[in-house]
A and B are shown apart, each in its own frame.
Chain A
Amino acid sequence: MSDMHLVDIDGELTSEPIRKGFGRGLKAAGELDMNVVAACADLTDSTQMSLFKEAFPERFVEIGVAEQNLVTVGSGLASMGKIPFVSSYAAFSPGRNWEQIRTTICLNNQPVKVVGSHAGVSVGPDGATHQMLEDIALMRVLPNMVVIAPGDSVEAEKATLAMAKDARPNYLRLAREATPIITTADTPFEIGKAYVYAPGSDVTIVATGTMTYQALLAAEQLYKDGIDAEVVHVPTIKPLDTETILKSVRKTGCVVTAEEGQAAGGLGGAVAELLADEYPAPMHRIGMKDRFGESGEPNELLEYFGLDAKHIRLAAHHIVERKK
């Protein structure tokens, strides 16, 4: 859709880790607002918080390897009017400190921005311990929490700037590996909005994070197969843009969800809940199916676990068949 101002995915694509966009966005947010502060648990370069740290050393707190402390210090900073971004690997934050996030951030309703980097199996060789797959589910069930998973580094930058202006607790999910940049400066982004990246009429593919690019690739192949797929990009998993998703599924009558995380409780869970309540329709969830990852190269793992365009395409065929 031309009003989305996307990059032509058939052309030469530039790739960049999504976390890089966060790093730039945080520094920019820091320039715009004195109250933006940052804290990190010994992963300042990895999470790309180093850009902010260099620019504003007096507004940066090095917490050490202590993720429980990371988010609770964030709660204290926020209670004084600061807008704290607190980062680590997603496996540790929000992996290890869920209760502190629940009580001191969500129930306490403080606008702490929890940033979980290196989410998904595409972390690669580090293996299952570091491949966070449950973060979307963990954060999505918390009242007051907003959950955001940008599709590329350009969107991550916009999301970070938007988070700095959002008065609610937020979780931002970032990936380690270079991801193709599919959006441009003019592509719209607003917290709570889903976007139709490719219009279609036969099947809706709802994707988030790194899987949106895979969904667009699948849609191209499906078109050649004679299936007109609509790709809905969902950078905000909570609050879910129910209007955009329902409008699409009412048109196509079936849906495939795609995410690089546990399908249970993640985006797949969220869409299944929505459709069960509002518009039951044949559905297939692409995601991790109640298992952990393992060591390997990122692309190898994505294929092995069925988290790529090929598997989205197969699922779309299957679900369109079921619709008949």
Chain B
Amino acid sequence: MAETYTIKQLEFKANTIREDIVRMLEHAGSGHSAGPLGLADIFTALYFDVMKHDPRNPDWAERDILLLSNGHCVPVRYATMAEAGYFPKKELLTLRKLGSRLQGHPERERLPGLESTSGPLGCGLSQAAGVALAMRMDAQAHRHVYVVTGDGELDEGNNWEAIMLIAKYNLTNITAIVDRNNIQIDGPTEQVMPLEDMKKKWESFGWHAIEVDGNDIEAVIDACAMAKAITEKPVVLLAYTIPGKGVDFMEYDFHWHGVPPNHEQAIKALHELRTLGGRIRSEHE
């Protein structure tokens, strides 16, 4: 991106993206709340600081590639893309409607800039491996691949096949980002299918793992820079996020994984986001 933003400006953008997520989900009447809200800071960091891309030219041959493995979190990608100028914000309200470019789970051919079709879990790392191998074959050393995965989706064996392959070929042009929010549909990840010791798992598969606060934009930007600088091993960011981040009644509650806010809940959530959880004065006061 040509434009550079201060951390304060980025935090403000992340908040706007959260408001848009709440509006879209309420309007759609279905969809996932917790993951997209939790990922807003990571997506803000990627689209407004870390990644090389051009909203006016989504197919730009020099762009970095972002793959969203956990396709159900796509509302955060749509809201961030609209914020970045890929398409008009009013289109966000078409989410999940018949004929919309904004499908419930992302479809590459419908909307320029999506890079891939995803939803069924566990495929993002494999596709990232393919993208990274192609970049290497074509000697495109200046391009980078980012892949965001959920934590619950690491239950899928396909991920570990890819994790082995990426380490085998030392594809350091990939940065994997795990949204470690500790919830999945049936409950806390450690009850549904324990993932810990997550850091040791990745390390024993030949990766360098960096733990980062996924809701701290500055920390995410720094970690992405560090990941790019490490070329001995592929790097994964274990990004600890708060599911439902920014909306008090959604935070940490796995029941919000796969449901949208109703009208009253949306009003409450938007009020909270506008006042940044009471840290600034409400517009109504």
Instruction: Please determine whether chains A and B interact with each other in the same assembly.
Output: yes
When the two chains form their complex, are residues B165 and A69 in contact, meaning their CB atoms are under 8 A apart?
A: yes
B82 within 8 A of A: no
In the complex, which residue of chain B has the Cβ closest to the Cβ of A74?
B130
Q: Which one of B32-40, B131-139, B183-191, B273-281 is at the A interface?
A: B131-139
A99 within 8 A of B: yes
Q: List 14 A-B contacts (CB under 8 A).
A: A58-B137, A63-B161, A64-B161, A64-B168, A69-B129, A72-B127, A72-B158, A75-B116, A76-B128, A77-B130, A80-B130, A80-B131, A80-B134, A104-B117
For B158, give its contact among A78, A80, A100, A109 (CB under 8 Å): A100
When the two chains form their complex, are residues A103 and B130 in contact, meaning their CB atoms are under 8 A apart?
A: no
For B161, give its contact among A37, A68, A107 (CB under 8 Å): A68
Contacts of A69 in B (CB 8 A): 126, 129, 158, 161-162, 165
In the complex, which residue of chain B has the Cβ closest to the Cβ of A73?
B130
When the two chains form their complex, are residues B123 and A100 in contact, meaning their CB atoms are under 8 A apart?
A: yes
Bound Cα distance A104, B71 (Å) = 12
For B130, give its contact among A58, A64, A72 (CB under 8 Å): A72
In the complex, which residue of chain A has the Cβ closest to the Cβ of B108?
A108
Contacts of A76 in B (CB 8 A): 67, 116, 126-134
For B162, give its contact among A72, A79, A84 (CB under 8 Å): A72
Instruction: Output the least CB separation between A264 and chain B (Å).
Output: 26
What size tier do the contact residues of chain B reach? 20 to 34
When the two chains form their complex, are residues A84 and B120 in contact, meaning their CB atoms are under 8 A apart?
A: no
For A103, give its contact among B119, B129, B135 (CB under 8 Å): B119
B residues within 8 Å of A by Cβ?
65, 67, 107-109, 115-120, 122-123, 126-135, 137-138, 157-158, 161-162, 164-165, 168-169
Q: Contacts A58-B137, A66-B165 known; A75 to B130 CB distance under 8 Å?
A: yes
When the two chains form their complex, are residues A66 and B161 in contact, meaning their CB atoms are under 8 A apart?
A: yes
Contacts of A125 in B (CB 8 A): none
Instruction: Output the least CB separation between A292 and chain B (Å).
Output: 25
Bound Cα distance A107, B118 (Å) = 9
For B129, give its contact among A58, A73, A82, A107 (CB under 8 Å): A73
Using a CB-CB cutoff of 8 Å, which residues 272-303 of chain A contact chain B? none
When the two chains form their complex, are residues B161 and A79 in contact, meaning their CB atoms are under 8 A apart?
A: no
Instruction: Output the least CB separation between B106 and chain A (Å).
Output: 10
Bound Cα distance A32, B27 (Å) = 52
Contacts of B117 in A (CB 8 A): 103-104, 107-108
For B127, give its contact among A61, A79, A81, A109 (CB under 8 Å): A79
A310 within 8 A of B: no
Ranked 8 nearest A-B pairs via Cβ: A76-B130, A72-B126, A80-B134, A69-B161, A76-B127, A66-B161, A108-B117, A77-B130
Bound Cα distance A291, B119 (Å) = 34
Contacts of B164 in A (CB 8 A): 64, 66
When the two chains form their complex, are residues B134 and A68 in contact, meaning their CB atoms are under 8 A apart?
A: no
Contacts of A37 in B (CB 8 A): 134, 137
Bound Cα distance A79, B126 (Å) = 12
In the complex, which residue of chain A has the Cβ closest to the Cβ of B122?
A68
Q: Contacts A64-B165, A68-B126, A104-B123 known; A79 to B137 CB distance under 8 Å?
A: no
Instruction: Output the least CB separation between B213 and chain A (Å).
Output: 29
When the two chains form their complex, are residues B120 and A99 in contact, meaning their CB atoms are under 8 A apart?
A: yes
Contacts of A59 in B (CB 8 A): 137
Contacts of B127 in A (CB 8 A): 72-73, 75-76, 79, 104
When the two chains form their complex, are residues B118 and A68 in contact, meaning their CB atoms are under 8 A apart?
A: no
Contacts of B165 in A (CB 8 A): 63-64, 66, 69, 73
Instruction: Output the least CB separation between B206 and chain A (Å).
Output: 14
When the two chains form their complex, are residues B116 and A108 in contact, meaning their CB atoms are under 8 A apart?
A: yes
Bound Cα distance A220, B109 (Å) = 50
Beyond A68-B158, A104-B116, A109-B108, list 16 extra A-B contacts (CB 8 Å). Answer: A63-B161, A64-B164, A66-B161, A69-B162, A72-B126, A73-B129, A75-B116, A75-B126, A76-B127, A76-B129, A76-B134, A84-B130, A103-B117, A103-B120, A108-B107, A108-B117
When the two chains form their complex, are residues A103 and B133 in contact, meaning their CB atoms are under 8 A apart?
A: no
Contacts of B67 in A (CB 8 A): 76
Contacts of A75 in B (CB 8 A): 116, 123, 126-127, 130
When the two chains form their complex, are residues A82 and B137 in contact, meaning their CB atoms are under 8 A apart?
A: yes
Using a CB-CB cutoff of 8 Å, which residues 60-117 of chain A contact chain B? 61, 63-64, 66, 68-69, 72-82, 84, 99-100, 103-104, 107-109
Bound Cα distance A66, B117 (Å) = 21
Contacts of A78 in B (CB 8 A): 130
For B135, give its contact among A74, A80, A99 (CB under 8 Å): A80
When the two chains form their complex, are residues B126 and A73 in contact, meaning their CB atoms are under 8 A apart?
A: yes
When the two chains form their complex, are residues B109 and A109 in contact, meaning their CB atoms are under 8 A apart?
A: yes
Instruction: Output the least CB separation between B271 and chain A (Å).
Output: 38
Bitwise interface map of A from 32 to 73 toward B, beta carbon under 8 Å scored 1, else 0? 000001000000000000000000001101011010110011
Contacts of B119 in A (CB 8 A): 103
Instruction: Output the least CB separation between A41 and chain B (Å).
Output: 10
When the two chains form their complex, are residues A77 and B133 in contact, meaning their CB atoms are under 8 A apart?
A: yes
Instruction: Output the least CB separation between B233 and chain A (Å).
Output: 19
